[in-house]
Amino acid sequence: MFRCLVASCVLAAGLAAPIAAQQPAVPSAPQSLGLADAIDLARQYNPSFRQITNDQGPANWGVRNAYSELLIPSLTLNGSMSYRGAGSQQFLTQEFVQPSATIGSGYSLNLNWRLSGATLSQPGLAKAQAHATAAAIDGAGNTLQSLVTQQYLAVLQARAQVDLAQLQLTRNDEFLRLAQARFQVGQSTMLDVRQAEVAKGQSEVGLLQARQLVLVEKLRLFQQMGIPAPDDPAVVSLTDTFPVVQPTWNMQELLAAADNDNPDVNTLRARAAAAGSSERAAKSEWLPSLSFSAGWSGFTQQFTNGSFLVSSARQGAQSSIDECEYTNSAWLNPGATPLDCSRLALTPADEADIRAGNSVFPFNFTSQPFSASVSLSLPIFTQFSRPLRVSQASTAADDARESVQARRLQVRTDVSNAFYGLEAAYETIEIQRRNRVAAQEQLRLATERYRVGSGTFFELLDAQLAEQRAQADYINAVYAYHRSVAALESAVGRPLR
């Protein structure tokens, strides 16, 4: 039986050993990357998000542990081995001599089960804490999705700026050729040519900076995704485009959706529920507790020198024989039947039994009596420790409920700001579109005036600068609209497009 118990404990220890979380193999960056793919990769490999998701495992095991403490008794197996050398010990005036060293072993199997207010309330508390952990993971996922979306838009905006810089370089190259042609026919001065060369050089610098910004924004995107960027980030192209449509959402519907779906609010609600469970658990300490325990045990003790036992037995047998013979000669009346002293002699079989009886180490146990006990405990006065814990738990529960209300108000403010900002961003796009058309027309007229000799190159540069600024403002307005949509989705807690 003991060997089976040992094997069972070894198996249980192997199953209970913690398994280290394995870091998944990080994939190489895809050459075509959509927003949904970027978000999916970030959920798999972003280190900060993975740290939060790792909390789910311990939370789930906490629920299992709470139920097991309530329903399943604990079982503990203990084993021991001992050695005591030969020698003498002095106790007061007595001397105890042990002529042979001894070795021993023992086991005990203990079963314990406890029922109390704490064990009754722990399953509910553990489930509430696991739910709070799951809600926190959802909140972290929503935040991660918002960050990846914003960074994805930043890359697209930087790429649009590259296209604009390339257009400006092409125009400045045309202006340089136009200035050179006018100079060759004597219709302009070398100053116009030099100014055109400077404008072209500035456009080339602007194009280099715009391309560099795209690479930087892509590196930040890969950092958010949690995967290493390729050696040349330019090989990765972003495939998603985002249309600009007039916002048709209703403010009240968005506020209601945010109150139900916002992950931060739901996380705080779950934490408030866990705090309420903690309060109930603290109050349950006033209940009595019932305990049950049972135990099985055994031991072995073996002399290392088996010949010592045989010698002691021989001496004892010889003393008994001598005493028997003395009785026959000195105590019995003449003519009486003498005692049979030969039966007191130690036989080889007796010696073999003595040696076999000494060979008990380590598993030939001598069982001890089974023991069991049941107890009922009701603490009456604990120096106000229980009222203190109840008060602390109640305060924490109230604070958690207030934090939910505070976050709900903050979310309403965030949704309202994002909604109004989105409407303003959409209207700004139309204004910037008209400004861009006007600036393009202004540049076309300035170019024609310079071409026919009725305008100056300074007027052409001013018109080009105004057109470039209008183009950049239009691009910024478009992506400010997309970022406003992403901010509104983050505040609501779910996709709106």
- Which domains occur in the chain, in start order? 31-72+117-288+385-497 (1.20.1600.10), 77-115+289-377 (no CATH)
Residue 292 identity? F
Residue pair 146/486 in contact by the 8 Å Cβ criterion = yes
**Three-state secondary-structure class, residue 21:** coil
pLDDT at 10: 40
Confidence of residue 16 (pLDDT cuts 50, 70, 90): very low
362 preceded by a cis bond (ω within 30 of 0)? yes
pLDDT at 101: 87
Confidence of residue 7 (pLDDT cuts 50, 70, 90): very low
Which helix (H) or strand (E) segment is 295 a member of? strand 289-303
pLDDT reading at 24 higher than 70: no
* Strand stretches in 35-127, DSSP E: 74-84, 87-91, 94-98, 102-115
Q: Of the given ranges (67-81, 324-338, 422-436), which has the lowest mean pLDDT?
A: 324-338
pLDDT at 23: 56
Distance CA 201, CA 177 (A): 14
> Alpha helices, DSSP H only, in 262-384?
263-283, 306-330, 348-358
Please give the radius of gyration of the chain, using alpha carbons only, rounded to the nearest integer.
45
Confidence of residue 14 (pLDDT cuts 50, 70, 90): very low
Task: Confirm whether pTM is higher than 0.85.
Answer: no
Question: What is the dihedral angle through the alpha carbons of 164, 165, 168, 172, rounded to the nearest 10 degrees?
Answer: -170
Burial pattern 285-300, b for ≥16 Cβ within 10 A else e, equals beeebeeebbbbbbbb
Confidence of residue 149 (pLDDT cuts 50, 70, 90): very high
Q: Of the given ranges (235-239, 242-246, 301-305, 482-486), which has the lowest mean pLDDT?
A: 301-305
Confidence of residue 5 (pLDDT cuts 50, 70, 90): very low
Q: Of the given ranges (80-94, 146-160, 188-202), which has the lowest mean pLDDT?
A: 80-94
> Alpha helices, DSSP H only, in 185-301?
190-225, 251-261, 263-283
- pLDDT mean over 93-117: 86
pLDDT reading at 3 higher than 50: no
Q: Quote the tokens at residue 87.
A: 């020698």
**Three-state secondary-structure class, residue 18:** coil
The mean pLDDT value of the chain amounts to: 86
pLDDT at 164: 92
